[in-house]
Structure 1
Amino acid sequence: MKKTAYIFVLMLILSACTKDLTSLNVDPKNPASVPSFSLFTEAERSMANTLTSSSVNLNIFRLIEQQWTETTYLNETRYQLPSRNQPDNIWSALYTGALANYQQAKTKLVTDVTDAGTQKNETAIIDILQVYTYFYLVTTYGNVPYSQALDINNPFPKYDDAKTIYNDLLARLDKDIAALNPSAGSFGDADLIYKGDSAAWKKFANTLKLKMGLVIADSDNAKAQSTVQSAVAGGVFTSNADNATFKYVSSPPNTNPIWVDLVQSQRHDFVATSEFLSYLKPNTANQDPRLPYFFAQSSNGVYAGAPNGSGNGGLVFSQYSLPSGPLLTPGSIGSLTNPDFPGLLLDYSETEFNLAEAVQRGYITGSVAAHYNSGVTASITYWGGTAAQAATYLLQPDVAYLTASGTPLQKIARQEYVALYNRGWDAWILTRRLDYPVLLKPAKAYTDFPVRFTYPVSEQNVNVTNYTQASSAIGGDDVTTKLFFDKF
């Protein structure tokens, strides 16, 4: 009797195990089907993290643009790009983390979203962000995979001509702007930038178009002018309320990457450069009101910067100003080292400087000085300063548009460069296309100032034929090879 009972219990156990065996084939962390909105959210997150990051393994543009310098490991400050494979990491982050997920979301929403108006809006928003992502790829590397880039069945895509890509990106923006319908539905909370607001995305697309038009001003003046005029007519940012920001939260894992890189990782080896501080504090009497929001005081109670790339890796960080700011003051977005500090992707201040440049170039009518003043004011108030502080700052002879030194475009570039603090990637695009401010390479630099990133080592080793053709087409896979828009 006992034996019979034992066999019965054993059969029950085996039966139960048999039922559970099929569930072992299901990976709960890698679902077989992912809704389009989840793919879209992940793509936004990956894109924003890449552009916001301060990791020495990824986004080193604050160092290249001499906003920050290193005190311990000087490789990135001295332009030794291959040491940590930043070209590979950026390439992978933008193609795999952002573009591939956007493309999958675009494909899946055709069946996920049944409402025609919502489907049309979501498709346009995804495409706008694909254009935005490709903009950084093509202005970083030059010729890149484009027409064959997102085909999973083609592991060896060809590289397309950078200028051809750029013109197609502008054409795509036009179609997306025309497709957006503010009265129809969209992503809602799955969109972590504008909450699915189609009207906001239309304004974003026109503002991006304005920016992209000016990037090609020296290489295709006629195309630049028509692009700028079309963008302005369509409606661009008019206040800081329009800014495209990615909202981070105070608890991991969706925290501000700078907090992750500097605070959570307990890194203290990034400090202000004396060169950048010279723009913010030219003398003891005059101080940019953004300075306390950009940097902390040194242990000596002063704002102090280290010469870019100086020393032998043994500078004492406490003697210099670290990237930081007030934890929170009325009207302030807080310290850039706070875990919930937002990632800024496109903003009103930059837009006003672009409008000032467009007027100066004769593309549109208006007042260069008025747009210049609005750009400075927008930046100061965004960081936490007041309009009154901005007005006082603009009275300084070396800041006021009429009396500041340099050509009109140099005056604009100088203030836009300051306003692009913490957006080193965009500052890099600015200084390459306007050749101002002039950033001298640091002592013991491994190369001259990089005007592009080299292609990833992975491409050189795997996609050999297409890599070789692309390298030859752009004039050589070197950091000193100027890209199609960088003519002077």
Structure 2
Amino acid sequence: MKKIFYICFASGLLLLASCDNGFEELNKDPNAVTADRFNPAYLFTTGQYNTAKGDESNSLNYAEPFVQHMASLSNVGIFDFQGDKYVYHKGNNEQLWKATYNAVSGSSKLIEDVITLAKDKPQYHNLYHMARIWKTVIFHRLTDMYGDIPYFEANQGYYKQIYKPKYDAQKDIYANMLSELEDATAKLDAGQTVFASPDIVYAGNIAKWKRFGYSMMLRLGMRMSKVDPAAAEAWVKKAYAGGVFSSVDDNLFIKGTDKAGTQEVLTNGQSWTLAVSGRSPGKIAKTFFDYMKSHNDPRLKYTVAVYTDPTNVATKKTDPAVQKGMPNGLDRITLPSSPSYDPNVPGQEHQFSGVNRDVFAKLDGPRMLLTYGEVQFMLAEAAVRGWITGDAAQFYRNGVTGAMKTLAQYDVSATIPDADITAYLTAFPFVGVADKEKAFEQINSEYWVATFLNGYESFANVRRSGYPKLVPVNYPDNETGGTYPRRLRYPDDEPVLNADNYNESVARQGADNYKTHVWWDK
């Protein structure tokens, strides 16, 4: 930094003491970005958006087929759903990590800048606490997918010259995230500046942000139900008492901005749309399709479709009677041996149902991050466990209703009539609390349906709850030996660029492979 020194002479004598007025201001770098010269709210918008855009290949190509929402015949290529066969693809395996930590556009870097620039600045009171809450959205997904990760020292290269951050134990990360949620949510203040324009989720609505904060606390609390039930119960109670999502209007989602598709081939920001609307994308998994069809689920005709001509959306058929799901773990050689395969239908994969493009492949459509339906299912499980007061059956009904009504936020054409929802709940009522394990299975199976296309959350909850009971695949040369995956591998360059901290993490957590369990999944 250039420093300008003014030395004053009076009567031939050096009078330094009399010349310090204004010295500090003159010695400030005019090009430095500081909180008093730059509004961190500008970074907040991009941080929110980048949380949901640019990481799709990790969720869609790995987590979605892991939970058997999706299936594919291929095991190579950028949009070919390697999670279907538990095989390794460097780019898709690393995408969430790279999108999170990118030094320029990474969601965690942008939000960390907001936190640093807004801290202790009264004019940014709510922005600071909103950013702290949003940070938990970013990091809980990352740690749930990889396990121990850089957290406390992450994004501190500029601020503290930490270029090789240590990997923190997931247990410590969770403890901090929950503490941050508790403090930040409580300190949000509707009486101060609300930052409506920069907030592309809730437009600065503090009441909604508070419900969001406590709903995140509920999610993280429930995540610990296996490893630390006492702590899980305590956090779930705090979240419930604080006030969680009260309707689908509280749903947390990020919408795309490229309605016309003009930037589709220029950026990675809309790759989700490309992946679900191309000629040969992943198909609906047989496990997922059969569950919905066996329940006569009214969502089925809006969720999936068969395109007899994959280049023409007008050929779409939504009648469940003419649809079928693709078995997981098959390729173009082994598919003909499956009872699901019809050799009389042209196009191997195109005889199977795919994502309904009119609903889920809109360029300006939403990516769901946390929904009212999920929250109600978590409360239903908490009530079954005796952690909170309230009617588990009503929470369950609210969860099903919320999950079904959420489809309309993707597209109005997917609005499910109330009568159909009532009929579903009548045909499949809550099983009751007498048999807790049956209740957990029913609740979490519906949670699995509700988190369709939110692979991060669905994969985490399947590992936590054990439901639905998915049969693993055993494709040749897969990463798990035919056992169910528990995490993803760290990026290939980590053992080189951050060797000591990487090695310490592996020694603590376990081998860097798809079989090692994360802390809360013990």
Change (3 A) 1:360 1:158: same
Pairwise CA distance, 1:89: 2.0
1:220-252 per-residue CA deviation (whole Å, 9 max, x = no partner) reads: 111111101111111000100111121223134
Identity of aligned residues (%): 28
Aligned with residue 36 of structure 1, among 22, 35, 40: 40
The 5 Å alignment of 1:79-478 reads: 79-81=86-88, 83-96=89-102, 97-109=106-118, 116=122, 118-152=123-157, 153-249=161-257, 250-252=259-261, 253=263, 257-263=271-277, 266-282=278-294, 287-299=296-308, 301=317, 302-312=322-332, 316-324=348-356, 327=358, 335-383=359-407, 384-397=415-428, 400-402=430-432, 407-444=438-475, 446=478, 447=480, 448-478=483-513
Q: Label 1:170 to 1:56 Cα distance change in 2 as closer, same or farther (>3 A).
A: closer
Q: How many residues align?
A: 434
Amino acid at match of 1:76: G
Q: Deviations over 1:41-69 (max 9, x none)?
A: 11111111156x2x369753111111111
**Corresponding residue for residue 27 of structure 1:** none
Match of residue 78, structure 1, among 76, 85, 90: 85
Are the structure 2 counterparts of residues 409 and 50 from structure 1 closer, same or farther at C-alpha, using a change threshold of 3 Å? Answer: farther
* CA distance in structure 2 between the aligned counterparts of 1:267 and 1:34, rounded to whole angstroms: 45
> Is the Cα–Cα contact under 8 Å of residues 142 and 483 in structure 1 kept in the other structure?
yes
- Whether the 8 Å contact between 2:60 and 2:455 is mirrored in structure 1 is no
Paired with 1:43 and 1:125, the residues of 2 have a C-alpha distance of 12
Q: Secondary structure at the match of 2:101?
A: helix
1:66 aligned to which of 65, 68, 75:
68
| CA–CA distance in structure 1, aligned partners of residues 184 and 166 of structure 2 | 26
Give 2:231's aligned amino acid.
K
Conserved? CA contact 1:50–1:94, under 8 Å: no
What are the superposed Cα offsets for residues 265-304 of structure 1, whole Å, 9 maximum, x if unpaired? x34231111111111101xxx5211112211135395221
Q: State the distance in 2 between where 1:57 and 1:405 align.
A: 31
Q: TM-score, normalised by structure 2?
A: 0.78
Q: Is the 8 A contact 2:58 2:93 kept in 1?
A: no
Q: One-letter code of the match for 2:510? A: G
Note the C-alpha offset of 1:474: 0.7
Q: Measure how far apart 1:78 and its partner are.
A: 0.6
- How far apart are the structure 2 equivalents of 1:92 and 1:34? 26
Partner letter of residue 482 of structure 1?
A: H
Look up the match of 2:16: none
Matched letter for residue 275 of structure 1? T
**Alpha carbon RMSD of aligned pairs, Å?**
2.4
Deviation at 1:107, TM superposition (A): 2.5
The verdict on how the C-alpha distance between 1:73 and 1:269 changes in structure 2, with shifts beyond 3 A counting, is farther
1:482 aligns to 2:517 (yes or no): yes
8 A contact 2:326–2:352 mirrored in 1: yes
Distance 2:491 2:430 in 1: 43
Please tell me the residue identity of whatever aligns with 1:184: Q
Amino acid at match of 1:338: K
1:321 to partner: Cα distance: 0.8
Give the SS at the match of 1:103: helix
| Residue aligned with 2:421, SS | helix
Greater shift, 182-191 or 287-296, is seen at 182-191
Distance 1:110 1:225 in 2: 31
* Alignment deviations for residues 150-207 of structure 1 (CA, whole Å, 9 cap, x no partner): 2112111111111011111111111101210012113222111111222211110000
The letter for the 2-side match of 1:259 is T
Match of 1:6 in 2: none
Q: Deviations over 1:327-355 (max 9, x none)?
A: 4xxxxxxx101112111111100000000
Is there any run of 5+ residues in structure 1 with no aligned partner, and where? Answer: 1-32, 328-334
Q: Gaps spanning 5+ residues in structure 2: where?
A: 1-36, 77-81, 309-315, 336-346, 408-414
Relative distance call for 1:72 and 1:356 in structure 2 (3 A) is: same
Distance change (3 Å), C-alpha of 1:425 and 1:50? farther
Aligned partners of 1:275, 1:50: CA distance in 2, in Å?
28
Whole-angstrom distance in 2 between the partners of 1:243 and 1:259: 21
